[in-house]
Amino acid sequence: MRIRMDHINYKLVIPAVALVGLVILGGGFLLYQNQKSQVLDDSQTISYQDVKKLVEEVSKLIDLPEDETPAVTTITDVAKMQDRPFFQRAKNGDKVLIYTNVAKAILYDPITKKVIDVASLNIGTSSAKVQVLLKVALRNGTKTSGLTTKIEDRLRKENLQFEVSSKENAERGDYDKTLVVVLNESSKKLAESIANLLNVTVGELPEREIKPKDADIVIILGKDAI
């Protein structure tokens, strides 16, 4: 469903941007305005026409929410954000569109006119808190069907916050022990929590396994997870 521009209330842009703000925190990012040290800049988002034009550009590449105006920020100091998965391929001048109603953040390059990344958000009780969820790839290294869903449900019950980027079979179906693999240093804490809950170890990606393109952690399930 493409966004319908006539449904956007651009008078909401200013308060939406003011709500969002600017600084990195923990596994995601907490946004607030800091005049002394900004890594993002909301000064360009006040123009209704600029936001409208940006949304029109992005809507040609990806389906956008129909009845929500995004908060838009501009990256101005990408060096301070490189340890965050969402910003690894970002550069100064890129735009971040934040849709709080559907809990999505979109990283967009206005020069090449390409969507760089899309992330789910964990929006806390504080209206200014927006956390990008780390992405987990689940791989079934056994012959038991439905194991990835079983383990995902188990982790969800422990209130771990993450997004499943893929669920598929591993290259081998004879893993005895489950293995948690860290692909991104910022995901180390979550990986250790997962390993402790599953009573397994954190290790390296096995030689035959292909590194996923869109994940911070890989969990290869072995027979011990059945």
pLDDT digits over 10-45, tens only?
444 434 443 444 333 333 444 433 333 344 544 343
Classified as helix, coil or strand, 187 is: helix
CA gap 194, 169 in Å, rounded: 19
Predicted local distance difference test score (pLDDT) of residue 192? 94
Contact (Cβ atoms closer than 8 angstroms) between residue 184 and residue 191: no
CA gap 163, 77 in Å, rounded: 26
DSSP string computed for 104-130: EEEEEETTTTEEEEEEEEEE-SSTTEE
- Per-residue model confidence as pLDDT tens digits over 49-97: 777 889 999 999 998 888 887 888 888 888 877 777 788 889 998 998 8
Predicted local distance difference test score (pLDDT) of residue 160? 84
Order of strands across the sheet that contains 129-132: 23-25, 28-30, 129-132, 114-123, 104-109, 95-99, 71-75, 40-41
Predicted local distance difference test score (pLDDT) of residue 26? 35
33, 35, 36, 42: CA torsion to nearest 10: 60
Q: Which two tokens stand for residue 199?
A: 């009573």
CA gap 127, 133 in Å, rounded: 17
Q: Which CATH class is domain 135-225?
A: alpha beta
62 C-beta neighbours (distance < 10 Å), count: 14
pTM of the complete model beyond 0.85:
no
Contact (Cβ atoms closer than 8 angstroms) between residue 133 and residue 28: yes
Predicted local distance difference test score (pLDDT) of residue 215? 87
| pLDDT confidence band for 123 (50 / 70 / 90) | low
Predicted local distance difference test score (pLDDT) of residue 81? 76
Q: Per-domain residue ranges for the chain?
A: 5-132, 135-225
Q: Which two tokens stand for residue 142?
A: 């056994």
Q: CB neighbours of 123 closer than 8 A, spacing ≥ 6? A: 100, 103, 129, 130, 131
Predicted local distance difference test score (pLDDT) of residue 27? 39
Where is pLDDT greater, at 131 or 147?
147
Candidates 71, 70, 107; CA nearest to 92 is 107
- Per-residue model confidence as pLDDT tens digits over 158-211: 888 888 889 999 999 999 999 999 988 878 899 999 999 999 999 999 999 999
